[in-house]
Structure 1
């Protein structure tokens, strides 16, 4: 069986993310943190929009590719530092992914589209950028809200949830309310979004 460019790209993205020195315990097993995130992004995308284009599928898998290589504390620990770090990360993720896609034989138009999506350009205007953002928010709410709850007070959490909610589409909102939250977290979400 001939391996497709998508299969080869996926393997290379996974191989990069498998090198993450940071790990996360999930279902009693230790996983490289960004490989686990990548798998969650892809699974959530296919569950939410099974007909997503190949470009979106790759952008979802590569959303945080090699994120550990640009540490948050290498930038000033203020809002400007945070925004600069996030902006540089998006470019880094897009460039790292573009190199992989070129290597496995995708054309420049395809690669440019994946970069556009990874950099989350034209959010709320471009349907596929919005789809990717919905999936990012759904993955956060499903897998990463709980650790946030342990670190922050209720008001800060409500602010984080509301910002997340405002980035999502109406279909994203409907999907978010289907996630199985703890009673306390569901109550927090409802308070944050005014339900």
Structure 2
């Protein structure tokens, strides 16, 4: 299984590295970073760069395409958008993280589909013909597309496209919803005579 992650100037490192760290563990997976040219591509922090081992024109097909987000998704290299449209036609799954969905939208991949992105980019996403949903992850099984608002993969034991590495929290054909339970309240014990009630409390001897 070939997984391709395209990089562009000012991408968000976590959006690319997170999926990489999970998908590289799938048996038989080959994960490849690509960019307009081979070499280092600097993330939006300015402090980190990832090396692209292949240029866009060297890759024309893959099984899984994962598009990260970042400030650079608002002004991508001109070669990237048509490349995404071409490669999407060959994939088993095409996915985006955060504002990476804007690049899928620009490529015409999300036209008429429910999708998600960072909430601040919702209007931009809808300008490409997508219907924004305020969900963490939206699956479009019939179209082989997954869009994630904040993160695509959340745990090493069951994250990623169905049939490859599971789909945590996904039920049926609708979007995945993950809820986090707040921690249970810890009952406070009443201090007994002569016993300190908490850190820094002074012990009081019974009169």
Structure having the larger proportion of residues in strand: 2
With normalisation by structure 2, the TM-score equals 0.29
Structure having the larger proportion of residues in helix: 1
Relative contact order (alpha carbons < 8 A, sep ≥ 6): 1 or 2 greater? Answer: 1
Higher-Rg structure is 2
With normalisation by structure 1, the TM-score equals 0.30
